[in-house]
């Protein structure tokens, strides 16, 4: 992903400026940055690229497992649990190579771009070859993802993930990885850190860390991952209390909740994001809030896997910033994730209006980017990265409301199919609903997934 340093102007018919919809906004861009925002511009200036509809900052997908996209449809057959779903997922993971992973991720990230996403947080734990044998380049799979993001025109934060055990046994020991998980494991957190340290950042790619879960990294090794991230001031993500079985196992071995264990081992902090945070105690919520650790909600996956509804309202009130992710990619639609977070809470509480449309858009943009280590993205203002996502206001879903209600229309009615234009880092990636770099995204997805079938 490269950007042209020349100056250009985008004219936004209607722009979401964080608090309100502003008509007629000219955004001047040099390279990948916004250099000026001029309101009161009723018509496109000479030479400007017109973006008609409602333009919001580029969306951030704060939690992705790219290879899970190959499961769409397949795992919706019949019934089951998270754990039966996981067995199907292992089957896909077993068949991936760096080449096939690149092809799949390129198509998946292109699908994200079509949905208005300009930055993805890839929670990456598929590191090695079959049986756990490292590739000649130990980071071949991670490099495939970084290249795929560039090829699809989006930025990436590669959250390289420590995953060394299949379950909890004691303070220092975990159950050995099963035959599928051998591809995920470096053996120890220290070996993980040594491998992850050789990953290099690029203009479109940042490198963060992740603890897969407290069941996948023994307690005595959690500090290694936390220290690695702290030394680099990098994002640190962790699957947290997604399943009650995780909580039960942690209580049995450590006598505390996963949140308490992470806190005691120095994992929680302002650059930390807990993903899901579904089954928390009041004390857990307080710990996350006091440490200002973030929460990434993934409602479409959480409902698809019957995980439950996390206490997002309480977490935000406690001080935990919210972001959104599409996780297993049952669908890729950050607008739907935002809408689902509010609507799930309505179903649970029997009341409406827990978040304004503005607050939900912030979770989908600025706070999502901050969680991924891009605090200079997610707003339309001078100095920010030039990321723009334009949503049509005249589709069958969005037609009717007045433009000043564009934020409400986008969050509560629009879908990814209503995204018309996307600019990422000053570069047009999607124009009139077509991807500029991947000409036929459906065919790319079909071909990449077909290779992975039994």
Residues involved in catalysis: 276, 327
Task: Give SS3 for 219.
Answer: helix
Tokens of 251: 């209580």
Q: DSSP for 412-431, please give it.
A: HT--GGGEEEEEETTEEEEE
Q: If we measure between CA atoms, which residue out of 113, 186, 183 comes closest to residue 153?
A: 113
Phi, psi of 190 (to 5 degrees): -65, -40
Q: Read off the DSSP letter of residue 202.
A: B
Q: DSSP for 300-347, please give it.
A: HHHHHTT-----HHHHHHHT--EEE--BT-SS--HHHHHHHHHHHHHH
Q: DSSP for 232-279, please give it.
A: HT--EEEEES-SHHHHHHHHHHHSS-HHHHHHHTT--STTEEEEE--S
Q: State the angle between helix axes of 441-450 and 98-114 in degrees (0 to 180), rounded to the nearest 10.
A: 150
Within 10 angstroms of residue 19's Cβ, the number of other Cβ atoms is: 8
Q: How far apart are CA 149 and CA 382, in angstroms?
A: 25
Instruction: Please state whether beta strands 167-168 and 49-57 pair in parallel, antiparallel, or not at all (unpaired).
Output: unpaired
- Cβ proximity of 82 and 88 under 8 Å: no
- Tell me how many helices (H) and strands (E) the chain has: 15, 18
Angle at Cα 323 formed by Cα 80 and Cα 312, nearest 5°?
A: 65
Beta-carbon contacts of residue 300 (< 8 Å; ≥ 6 apart): 326, 327, 330, 331, 333, 336, 337, 340
- Cβ proximity of 441 and 110 under 8 Å: yes
Phi, psi of 126 (to 5 degrees): -90, 80
Q: If we measure between CA atoms, which residue out of 303, 262, 259, 266 comes closest to residue 284?
A: 259
């Amino acid at each position: 992903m490269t950007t042209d340093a020349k100056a250009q102007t985008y004219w936004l018919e209607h722009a979401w400026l964080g608090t309100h919809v502003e008509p007629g906004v000219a955004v001047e861009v040099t390279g990948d940055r916004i250099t000026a925002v001029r309101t009161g511009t009723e018509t496109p200036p000479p030479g400007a690229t017109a973006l008609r509809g409602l333009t919001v900052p580029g969306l951030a997908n704060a939690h992705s497992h790219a290879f899970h996209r190959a499961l769409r449809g397949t795992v919706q057959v019949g019934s089951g649990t998270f754990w039966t779903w996981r067995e199907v997922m292992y089957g896909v993971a077993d068949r991936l190579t760096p080449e096939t992973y690149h092809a799949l991720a390129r198509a998946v990230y292109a699908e994200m771009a079509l949905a208005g996403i300009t930055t993805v947080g890839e929670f990456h734990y598929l590191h090695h070859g079959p049986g756990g044998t490292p590739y000649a380049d130990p980071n071949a799979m991670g490099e495939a993802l970084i290249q795929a993001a560039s090829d699809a025109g989006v930025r990436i934060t590669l959250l390289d993930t420590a995953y060394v055990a299949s379950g909890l046994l004691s303070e220092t020991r975990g159950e050995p990885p099963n035959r599928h998980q051998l591809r995920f494991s470096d053996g120890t957190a220290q070996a993980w850190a040594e491998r992850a340290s050789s990953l290099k950042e690029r203009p479109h790619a940042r490198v963060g860390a992740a603890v897969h879960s407290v069941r996948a990294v023994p307690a005595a090794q959690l500090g290694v991952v936390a220290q690695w991230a702290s030394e680099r001031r990098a994002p640190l993500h962790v699957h947290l209390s997604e399943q009650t079985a995780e909580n039960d196992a942690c209580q049995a071995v450590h006598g505390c909740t996963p949140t308490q264990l992470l806190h005691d081992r120095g994992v929680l902090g302002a650059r930390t994001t807990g993903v899901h945070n579904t089954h928390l105690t009041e004390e857990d919520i307080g710990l996350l809030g006091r440490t200002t650790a973030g929460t990434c909600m993934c409602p479409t996956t959480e409902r698809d896997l019957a995980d439950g509804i996390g206490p997002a309202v309480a977490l935000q009130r406690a001080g935990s910033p919210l972001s959104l992710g599409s996780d297993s990619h049952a669908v890729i639609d950050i607008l739907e994730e935002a809408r689902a977070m509010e609507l799930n809470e309505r179903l649970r509480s029997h009341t409406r209006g827990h978040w304004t449309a503005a607050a939900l858009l912030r979770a989908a943009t600025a706070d999502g980017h901050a969680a991924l280590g891009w605090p200079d993205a997610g707003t339309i203002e001078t100095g920010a990265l030039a990321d723009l996502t334009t949503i049509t206001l005249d589709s069958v879903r969005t037609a009717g409301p007045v433009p000043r209600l564009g934020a409400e229309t986008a969050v509560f009615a629009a879908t990814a199919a209503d995204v018309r234009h996307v600019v990422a880092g000053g570069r047009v990636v999607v124009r009139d609903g077509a991807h500029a770099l991947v000409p036929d995204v459906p065919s790319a997805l079909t071909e990449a997934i077909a290779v992975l079938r039994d």
